[in-house]
């Protein structure tokens, strides 16, 4: 099977999120098909600093070693997020909320220690993840926002630049192509740029499905974000076989018709990504192959999903064939 990343080498880095288990069992496949990896969970706050001041880098270091050994790029995910962040960050032992100064100090220490540790190994960091509201409202009322105030965002990016002046600093979010949220993300990032806060790019997560979003929505979002003069990456691509509204339909195997639709979607979106290759520097799948995906547990627990271009046996799906053909045009 031809290498997917080599097929798109002239366009952007093709990446995948991986786990230590996947590296162990599918390392050769991953190294052959992808140019970049992201740790699915192992570089999140709770993994790297479960207790105050107690940094645990061992597992993530092994992932970095794998990337280095195979000449792959490593994306860092993620420094500041409202999820997978330990309780101690926001709450004191007596249950009281941590105050602004202490929370800022915690954020600074975490960013500084982590980015310093992974300097040169990680070329690009999701400094801030999912800080914008989906519905009404602007900034997500996270404990970071409540504890520090709106400037927590500026601070996060400034601390990041101080810690590693070379790493690319990204803002990363889902639903980033839906018009309402897109405009809010655009405004937030525009504000950062106007205030001189260091930011290099926007990550469009890309947790999509075979009916959503439309080609047009993705195109408009790419253009709007690109107008800020930043780089873009698709950071967490998976195309669910289920529409947002559907529950568990009990499929034992993926229905042909849905796989065809999925393949068409992959083809259309990659065509678009290629058309914007000057601004899109990476396209990372949120997983490797259909044997394992977080979508088997989310948003419906134990509903099997098949969101990738490689099947459960690590064989090419129709989507893969279409992408390889497209890469040759
Ligand atoms: C998910 C992982 O895939 C799961 O294993 C974990 O249980 C929860 O987090 N947006 C992100 C990712 O930025 O970090 C999330 O990853 C998926 C949604």
Nearest CA to ligand 1 atom 9: 41
User: How high is the pLDDT of residue 116?
Assistant: 98
DSSP assigned state of 250: -
Q: Which residue's entry shows tokens 């409540």?
A: 146
pLDDT interval class at 188 (50, 70, 90):
very high
Q: Read off the pLDDT of residues 73-97 as tens digits, 9 standing for 90 and up.
A: 999 999 999 999 999 999 999 999 9
User: How high is the pLDDT of residue 329?
Assistant: 84
Ligand 1, atom nearest to 174 Cα: 10
User: How high is the pLDDT of residue 133?
Assistant: 98
User: How high is the pLDDT of residue 113?
Assistant: 98
User: How high is the pLDDT of residue 291?
Assistant: 98
- Residues 80-96: b if buried by 16+ CB within 10 A, e if exposed: bbeeebeeebbeeeeee
Q: Candidates 47, 294, 308: which one to mutate for ligand 1, based on the most atoms within 8 Å of Cβ?
A: 294
CA of 194 to the centre of ligand 1 (A): 31
User: How high is the pLDDT of residue 244?
Assistant: 83
User: How high is the pLDDT of residue 25?
Assistant: 98
Is pLDDT at 24 greater than 90 in this prediction?
A: yes
Instruction: Name the catalytic one among 105, 236, 257, 278.
Output: 236
Q: Is 211 in the pocket of ligand 1 (CB under 6 A)?
A: no
Please tell me whether the overall predicted TM-score, pTM, comes out greater than 0.85 for this model.
yes
Q: Is 41 in the pocket of ligand 1 (CB under 6 A)?
A: yes
Going through the chain in order, the beta strands assigned E by DSSP cover 13-18, 36-39, 73-80, 124-129, 168-173, 201-204, 207-209, 231-240, 280-285
CA of 77 to the centre of ligand 1 (A): 10
User: How high is the pLDDT of residue 245?
Assistant: 80
Q: Is 235 in the pocket of ligand 1 (CB under 6 A)?
A: no
Ligand 1, atom nearest to 77 Cα: 14
Q: Read off the pLDDT of residues 218-274 as tens digits, 9 standing for 90 and up.
A: 999 999 999 999 999 999 999 999 998 899 999 999 999 999 999 999 999 999 999
pLDDT interval class at 300 (50, 70, 90):
very high
Looking at the chain, the whole-number percentage of residues with pLDDT higher than 90 is 99
- How far apart, in whole angstroms, are the C-alpha atoms of residue 240 and residue 252? 15
Is pLDDT at 171 greater than 90 in this prediction?
A: yes
Q: Are 197 and 158 in contact (CB under 8 A)?
A: yes
Annotated catalytic residue 256: no
Annotated catalytic residue 223: no
Distance of CA 162 to the CA centre of its chain: 23
Is pLDDT at 275 greater than 90 in this prediction?
A: yes
CA of 329 to the centre of ligand 1 (A): 34
With a CB cutoff of 8 Å and minimum separation 6, the contacts of 177 are 204, 213, 217, 218, 220, 221
């Amino acid at each position: 099977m031809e290498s997917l990343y080599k097929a798109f080498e002239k366009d952007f880095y093709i990446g995948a999120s991986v786990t230590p288990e996947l590296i162990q069992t599918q390392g050769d496949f991953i190294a052959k098909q992808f140019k970049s990896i992201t740790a699915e969970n192992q570089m999140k706050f709770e993994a790297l600093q479960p207790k105050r001041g107690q940094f645990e880098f061992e597992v993530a270091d092994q992932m970095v070693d794998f990337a280095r050994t195979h000449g792959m790029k490593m994306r860092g995910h993620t420094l500041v997020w409202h999820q997978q962040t330990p309780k101690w960050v926001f709450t004191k032992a007596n249950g009281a909320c941590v105050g602004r100064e202490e929370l800022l100090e915690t954020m600074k220490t975490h960013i500084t220690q982590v980015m310093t540790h992974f300097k040169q190994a990680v070329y690009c960091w999701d400094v801030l993840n999912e800080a914008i509201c989906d519905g009404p409202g602007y900034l997500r009322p996270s404990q970071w926002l409540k504890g520090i105030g709106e400037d927590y965002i500026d601070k996060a990016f400034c601390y990041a630049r101080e810690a590693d002046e070379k790493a690319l600093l990204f803002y990363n979010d889902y639903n980033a192509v839906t018009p309402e949220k897109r405009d809010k993300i655009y405004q937030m990032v525009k504000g950062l740029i106007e205030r001189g806060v260091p930011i290099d790019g926007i990550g469009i997560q890309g947790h999509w499905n075979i009916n959503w979003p439309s080609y047009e929505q993705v195109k408009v979002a790419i253009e709007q974000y690109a107008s800020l003069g930043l780089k873009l990456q698709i950071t967490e691509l998976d195309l669910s076989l289920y529409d947002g509204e559907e529950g568990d339909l009990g499929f034992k195997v993926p229905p042909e018709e849905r796989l065809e639709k999925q393949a068409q979607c992959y083809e259309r979106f990659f065509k678009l990504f290629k058309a914007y290759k000057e601004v899109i520097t990476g396209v990372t799948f949120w997983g490797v192959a259909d044997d394992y995906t977080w979508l088997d547990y989310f948003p419906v627990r134990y509903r099997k999903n098949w969101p990738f271009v490689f099947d459960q046996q690590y064989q090419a799906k129709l989507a893969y064939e279409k992408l390889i053909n497209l890469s040759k045009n």
